[in-house]
Amino acid sequence: MNEHSRSHDKASKSSSSRTGGETQVKSGGYNLGSVLLQMSTIISPEQLGEAQQMARQTGMDVLKMLTMNGYINEKTARLAKDAAFVVRQDVFDEEQVAQALYRAVKEGIELEQALAVMSSAGQVQAVRAKTSYTPLSELLILAGILQSGELKSYQATANETGLPLGRVITHAGVVNPESVMAALCAQVYEREGYFHKDELVLILTTCYRKSMSFQDALEFHNKAIPEEALQVRLGELLTQCGLVPRNAVISALELSLLRGTPLGQELVSMGQIKEEALEKALLIKELVRKGRLADEHVPAIVRRVVINGQDSDVAMGEVAAMVLDDSDFDSLDRVLCYSGITQEALIVPIRLSLSENAPFMEYLAALVDKQIIDEKCALAAARVLYLVRLDALSGDQAVSLLKYCREYQTSVDQAMDKLH
């Protein structure tokens, strides 16, 4: 069992019932996640009552009964558990979390993303700041990044100016920003209960001595990167894309830790990024979790969409076309012919006219130039083949999806959401 699961179990056993005089038991009985689902109108009171009764009779979890009855799916059940965990931390109240849960389920995003977007828009507000278990100063000393004597002067400056310690250390220029960023990442992971303090100090020491990012150091020590640690990954993404300077991410992340606010909200408040741009970046990042986008291609697409103002479907199609190569020519021929978009007799002469080892983009452009397919179809074809490479689609599914997109004049990702 991982640390996140243990923290959930601990919170579940220690929390008391919040409604109806029911007492919480180890299995069955009261379940905060299911109540939040009812508060958010995702399930009805009747469905909740039925599941609670069945849970008492069987000794199974209420969320499990809701899933077995077909009222929710596995992902919604997981989001409900995450929502219960957030409520038990007393950072957001039940009403706010229920609103975020509704948005997360309807938009197919993570709960923390929904809270981040809603916090930036002023729709929810933290009622209590979450605090890290280990101060930043202590982590820096334990990892050997700073000596206690050095730290005293920085702490004094922070106390005098009111600036966060991490910002003061970064501005001093003695410690590289990556080390400070790594220490803040460690605070996020410890605060959320993913790793113990000793584990994080070891990882942070590796970051410093081997000049690694925190994510690389996690992999070096064979530690799984928690999917839920969105704030850490969001900061790295915005830096990689060139949307926000690393120093600004460090300042915002430290403030978010101190105040218990989402990183995105702090960056918006600082004027480092607009809310609309932040939401676009979050939605693109969400495609990685869905298995529709490789992590290394996220920065390129975010830059195209947010900085260049390109349509997201066009951006994903163009990046897909650049990732594919001549080994994908046969697959392109098949999806175009089997979907009824064109015929083999029309595309063979074009393919034969290409130079040896021609890039995928050249073949795609030639098909558009000869009016075999239009540009929209070309980008959609590249996108479905990219998804086949990611094992998000089979070859037959790619053909069916491309046919559907052409018939209903919709994008690949919109079609996947609808058909899913």
pLDDT of amino acid 187? 87
Any residues with CB less than 8 A from the CB of 99 and at least 6 apart, and which? 40, 118, 123, 124
Is 13 or 81 the better-scoring residue by pLDDT? 81
pLDDT of residue 230 exceeding 90, the answer is: no
Is 82 or 394 the better-scoring residue by pLDDT? 394
pLDDT of residue 354 exceeding 80, the answer is: yes
pLDDT of residue 291 exceeding 80, the answer is: yes
Mean pLDDT (whole number) for 233-254: 87
Which residue type sits at 251? S
Q: Which tokens is 159 given?
A: 């106390």
Any residues with CB less than 8 A from the CB of 195 and at least 6 apart, and which? 3, 189, 203, 223
Alpha carbon distance, N-terminus to C-terminus of the chain: 30
Q: What angle do CA 77, 83, 86 make, to 5 degrees?
A: 150
Mean pLDDT (whole number) for 297-320: 94
pLDDT of residue 237 exceeding 90, the answer is: no
pLDDT of residue 95 exceeding 70, the answer is: yes
Residue % of the chain over a pLDDT of 90: 43
Query: Are the beta carbons of 332 and 363 closer than 8 angstroms?
Result: yes
Which of the residue ranges 133-147, 332-346, 367-381 would you say has the lowest mean pLDDT? 133-147
Split at pLDDT 50, 70, 90, the class of 128 is low
Split at pLDDT 50, 70, 90, the class of 25 is very low
Q: Report the 10 Å Cβ neighbour count for 37.
A: 31
Any residues with CB less than 8 A from the CB of 265 and at least 6 apart, and which? 116, 119, 120, 256
Query: Are the beta carbons of 55 and 48 closer than 8 angstroms?
Result: no
Q: Report the 10 Å Cβ neighbour count for 373.
A: 21
Residue 234 CA to residue 284 CA, distance in Å, equals: 11
pLDDT of residue 82 exceeding 60, the answer is: yes
Which of the residue ranges 136-150, 226-240, 256-270 would you say has the lowest mean pLDDT? 226-240
